[in-house]
Amino acid sequence: MTMRLDEIRSRLDATFSPVSCLLEDESAAHAGHAGAASGGGHYRLKLISAVFEGQNRVTRHRLVYDCLLDFMQKDIHAIAIVALAPSEVARSD
Protein backbone atom coordinates (compact mmCIF):
# COMPACT_ATOMS: atom_id res chain seq x y z
CA MET A 1 0.00 0.00 0.00
CA THR A 2 2.85 2.39 0.70
CA MET A 3 3.96 2.23 -2.93
CA ARG A 4 0.43 3.12 -4.04
CA LEU A 5 0.35 6.08 -1.64
CA ASP A 6 3.74 7.24 -2.91
CA GLU A 7 2.58 7.03 -6.53
CA ILE A 8 -0.60 8.98 -5.82
CA ARG A 9 1.26 11.60 -3.78
CA SER A 10 3.89 11.95 -6.51
CA ARG A 11 1.21 12.60 -9.14
CA LEU A 12 -0.50 15.18 -6.91
CA ASP A 13 2.83 16.91 -6.22
CA ALA A 14 3.70 17.08 -9.92
CA THR A 15 0.29 18.43 -10.91
CA PHE A 16 -0.48 20.86 -8.08
CA SER A 17 2.89 21.83 -6.51
CA PRO A 18 1.01 21.89 -3.21
CA VAL A 19 1.83 23.88 -0.11
CA SER A 20 0.56 20.83 1.76
CA CYS A 21 -0.58 17.36 0.72
CA LEU A 22 -1.98 15.09 3.42
CA LEU A 23 -3.01 11.73 2.01
CA GLU A 24 -4.32 9.01 4.31
CA ASP A 25 -5.10 5.41 3.43
CA GLU A 26 -8.36 4.46 5.16
CA SER A 27 -8.74 1.15 3.35
CA ALA A 28 -8.45 -0.95 6.52
CA ALA A 29 -11.56 0.73 7.91
CA HIS A 30 -13.48 -0.42 4.81
CA ALA A 31 -12.39 -4.06 4.79
CA GLY A 32 -15.21 -6.26 3.52
CA HIS A 33 -16.72 -3.39 1.52
CA ALA A 34 -17.62 -4.32 -2.06
CA GLY A 35 -15.09 -1.83 -3.45
CA ALA A 36 -12.32 -3.34 -1.38
CA ALA A 37 -12.82 -6.67 -3.15
CA SER A 38 -11.62 -5.14 -6.42
CA GLY A 39 -8.43 -3.94 -4.76
CA GLY A 40 -9.35 -0.26 -4.88
CA GLY A 41 -8.43 1.66 -1.76
CA HIS A 42 -10.26 4.29 0.28
CA TYR A 43 -8.36 7.54 0.82
CA ARG A 44 -8.72 10.91 2.51
CA LEU A 45 -6.93 13.89 0.93
CA LYS A 46 -6.34 17.43 2.13
CA LEU A 47 -4.58 19.38 -0.60
CA ILE A 48 -3.57 23.04 -0.39
CA SER A 49 -2.46 24.55 -3.68
CA ALA A 50 -2.40 27.89 -5.46
CA VAL A 51 -4.00 26.09 -8.43
CA PHE A 52 -7.27 26.21 -6.48
CA GLU A 53 -7.33 30.03 -6.12
CA GLY A 54 -10.55 31.35 -7.61
CA GLN A 55 -11.91 27.84 -8.32
CA ASN A 56 -15.16 26.54 -6.85
CA ARG A 57 -15.38 23.25 -4.98
CA VAL A 58 -16.69 21.23 -7.94
CA THR A 59 -13.90 22.46 -10.23
CA ARG A 60 -11.28 21.67 -7.59
CA HIS A 61 -12.58 18.12 -7.21
CA ARG A 62 -12.65 17.67 -10.99
CA LEU A 63 -9.03 18.80 -11.19
CA VAL A 64 -8.04 16.20 -8.58
CA TYR A 65 -10.07 13.47 -10.32
CA ASP A 66 -8.53 14.38 -13.68
CA CYS A 67 -5.06 14.20 -12.13
CA LEU A 68 -5.74 10.74 -10.69
CA LEU A 69 -7.91 9.40 -13.51
CA ASP A 70 -5.83 6.31 -14.27
CA PHE A 71 -5.62 5.48 -10.53
CA MET A 72 -9.42 5.78 -10.29
CA GLN A 73 -9.78 2.87 -12.70
CA LYS A 74 -8.40 0.27 -10.23
CA ASP A 75 -6.26 1.68 -7.40
CA ILE A 76 -8.74 4.12 -5.87
CA HIS A 77 -12.28 3.06 -5.03
CA ALA A 78 -13.12 6.19 -3.02
CA ILE A 79 -11.39 9.43 -2.11
CA ALA A 80 -12.65 12.14 0.23
CA ILE A 81 -11.20 15.45 -0.93
CA VAL A 82 -10.62 18.75 0.83
CA ALA A 83 -9.02 21.08 -1.72
CA LEU A 84 -8.09 24.56 -0.53
CA ALA A 85 -6.26 27.60 -1.82
CA PRO A 86 -3.50 28.93 0.44
CA SER A 87 -5.59 32.06 1.12
CA GLU A 88 -8.31 29.85 2.66
CA VAL A 89 -6.16 27.93 5.11
CA ALA A 90 -6.41 30.40 7.99
CA ARG A 91 -10.19 30.53 7.55
CA SER A 92 -10.63 26.73 7.52
CA ASP A 93 -8.83 25.96 10.81
Task: Return left, alpha or beta for 84; rule: phi > 0 is left, psi -120 to 50 is alpha, else beta.
Answer: beta
* CATH code: domain of residue 69: 3.30.300.90
Which H or E element spans position 9?
A: helix 2-16
Count the domains in the chain: 1
Mean pLDDT of 11-23: 98
pLDDT of residue 70: 93
Look up residue 48 and give its DSSP letter: E
* pLDDT (mean) for 4-24: 96
The domain in which residue 18 lies consists of: 2-92
| Position 43, amino acid | Y
Tens digits of residue pLDDT in 36-72: 556 678 899 999 999 999 999 999 999 999 999 999 9
Q: What is the mean pLDDT of residues 79-93?
A: 86
